[in-house]
Amino acid sequence: MTLLKGAAVVGQSGGPTAAINATLSGVIKAVINDNGENVTSLLGMRNGIEGLLRDDLVDLTAAFTKDGGPDEDKLSLLEGTPAAALGSCRKKLPDPDKDRGFFNGLIEIFRKYDVRYFFYIGGNDSMDTVLKLSKYLRTSDYEMRCVGIPKTIDNDLAGTDHTPGFGSAAKYIAVTLKEIVRDCSVYTVPAVTVVEIMGRDAGWLTAASGLPCDVPGAGPDLIYLPERPFSLDAFLEDVKEVHSRKPAVVVAVSEGLRFADGRYVGEGTQSGAADVFGHKYLAGTAKALELFIKEKLGCKVRSIELNLPQRCASHLASLTDINESVATGSEGVRAAIDGKTGVMVTAKRSPGPGYLISFDASDISGIANEIRTVPDEYINERGNGVTPACLDYIRPLIAGEVAPAYKDGLPIHLVI
């Protein structure tokens, strides 16, 4: 390993989470604690790579240093603030083999500030940015280390046990489902409540809705993940079976449910628009199922889309997730100082009972643009629920409650 001294840039990219600022806090802490031995200063890119391109950077070392060390009070507020404090973007970089000019332009900006460390906090699409920049750097004489720091509520990144941000979203979903199930239990008239949960391709978040089922009757009765083709006939049969036992049926569904022929269940009500990565914004899976049940059974039906609060309810973040997110950010800085580049920070769970996580950094090329879905053994045979093994996997990730600072009844957020 050779010593590399220079400034660092950090950016946040993709959809916000309740924990992405905790990861930023971890990066800031590690840089300040490095005391300039390797990383001389930390610049925040406003709106990810877009801010870099327009030279819109903020001096984070200055903003978060107090008495020569990390300003713990301010960092604690940052960790309790939802959504990307530096702003975010959804920018897809060109292929470095085809558009070297774009990357040459980036290097000019790096040179201007003597940036030798590049940290990018994000999900699948952001790791694509790290991959492309790393690829370009291998054929450039500019020395810089590039590290991806994972963040996604979807938990669908390959190569790691779970992703920072998932635990908090999972906790929000599990707590909210438990509360909704209690709410729905008060009447004696037959009713069906369909709750739609985020997750385009992977059902991890929807699976988390099963956590309250540890207490009989406290969780949803039926859970459908996008990993299995969805059948309206089987769904109707399932609902009728639950109705034969109790009046209030609560169903958790993933926004990404598809029929066997590949059509989305919520297709009729989806946006039609696609983002720059070609993803369609889905909306309406629960609504479509509400209308279906109303037509078939005629009972009271309600659909609920958990929507944005799933990714920004920092008041209900998982303490485990927040602590691990801070650690993941710091690990990213350590990996870069240790000489690693073209990697993403990964988490490994020790086998056996108890919950123990160790961090590493793995080659980004095997991670970017891969989707890690819920494995078969985590879904029950009928495809309408999750298995105990699945809940055992998720349960430790939602453990512990945060204690955000409140003023006048509202949480205090830090705006950079």
Binding mask 376-415 for a second copy (x = CB under 8 A): -------------------x--xxxx----x-xxxx-x-x
Q: Which is nearer to a second copy, 262 or 272 (CB)?
A: 272
Among 313, 327, 368, 386, binds a second copy (CB under 8 A): 313
Closest CA to 30 of 324, 332, 322: 332
Q: Does residue 367 touch a second copy according to CB under 8 A?
A: no
Among 74, 309, 360, 387, binds a second copy (CB under 8 A): 309
Compute the least distance from the CB of residue 154 to a second copy, in Å: 16
Task: Count the site residues for a second copy by CB under 8 A.
Answer: 60
**Spatial separation of the C-alpha atoms in residues 34 and 52, rounded to whole Å:** 23
d(CA 170, CA 183): 20
Select the span of 32-40, 154-162, 178-186, 345-353 touching a second copy (CB under 8 A). Answer: 178-186
Find the binder of a second copy among 42, 83, 357, 374 (CB under 8 A).
83
- The answer to the question of residue 50 lying near a second copy (CB under 8 A) is yes
- Residue for token pair 């409540």: 193
Tokens of 23: 């990861």
Torsion of CA 170, 176, 180, 182, to 10 degrees: 100
Contact flag: residue 268 with a second copy (CB under 8 A): no
Q: Do the beta carbons of residue 187 and residue 246 sit within 8 Å?
A: no
Query: What is the nearest approach in angstroms of a second copy to the Cβ of residue 225?
Result: 20
Per CB under 8 A, the list member of 152, 160, 176, 346 interacting with a second copy is: 176
DSSP letters of 343-396?
A: EEEEEEEPSSSS--EEEEEEEGGGTTT---PPPGGGB-TTSSSB-HHHHHHHGG
Going by C-alpha positions, the residue among 130, 23, 155, 186 that lies closest to residue 363 is: 130
Strands (E), 275-327: 300-305
In angstroms, what is the minimal distance from the CB of 319 to a second copy? 9
Q: Give the x/- contact pattern for a second copy in 316-355, rule: CB under 8 A.
A: x-x-------------------------------------
Alpha-carbon gap, residue 138 to 155, rounded angstroms: 29
The residues assigned a catalytic role are: 154
Cβ 79 to a second copy, closest distance in Å? 14
Tell the smallest beta-carbon distance from residue 385 to a second copy (Å).
Answer: 18
Question: Which of 218, 232, 234, 297 touches a second copy by CB under 8 A?
Answer: 218
Query: Is there binding between residue 304 and a second copy (CB under 8 A)?
Result: yes
Alpha helices in 14-99 (DSSP H): 20-33, 49-53, 60-64, 72-79
Q: Is 183 in the site for a second copy (CB under 8 A)?
A: yes
- 277's tokens: 């990565």
Q: What is the 3-state secondary structure (H, E, C) of 231-253?
A: CHHHHHHHHHHHHCCCCEEEEEE
Q: Which is nearer to a second copy, 30 or 191 (CB)?
A: 191
> Quick check: 179 binds a second copy (CB under 8 A)?
yes
**Please, are residues 149 and 157 in contact by the beta-carbon 8 Å criterion?**
no
Residues 6+ apart with CB under 8 A from 246: 221
Among positions 1, 67, 188, 278, the unique one binding a second copy when judged by CB under 8 A: 188
One of 315, 334, 348, 349 touching a second copy (CB under 8 A): 315
Q: Which stretch binds a second copy (CB under 8 A): 25-33, 75-83, 105-113, 334-342?
A: 75-83
Nearer to a second copy, 190 or 309 (CB): 309
For the four alpha carbons of 256, 262, 266 and 268, in that order, the dihedral sign comes to positive
- Cβ 184 to a second copy shortest distance, Å: 8
Binding test (CB under 8 A) with a second copy, winner from 178, 228, 258, 340: 178
84 touches a second copy by CB under 8 A: yes
Give the residue with the Cβ less far from a second copy, 84 or 222.
84
Of the candidates 127, 124, 115, the residue with the CA atom closest to the CA atom of residue 45: 115
Q: How far apart are CA 50 and CA 93, in angstroms?
A: 10
CA distance 206 to 371: 16
Which residues are CB-contacts of 91 (< 8 A; sequence separation ≥ 6)?
A: 13, 48, 49, 50, 129, 276
Q: What's at 355, amino acid-wise?
A: Y
Check binding of 90 to a second copy (CB under 8 A).
yes
Binding site for a second copy (CB under 8 A): 12, 16, 47, 50, 81-84, 87-90, 171, 174-176, 178-180, 182-188, 193, 211-212, 214-215, 217-218, 273, 300, 302, 304-305, 307-309, 311-316, 318, 395, 398-401, 406, 408-411, 413, 415
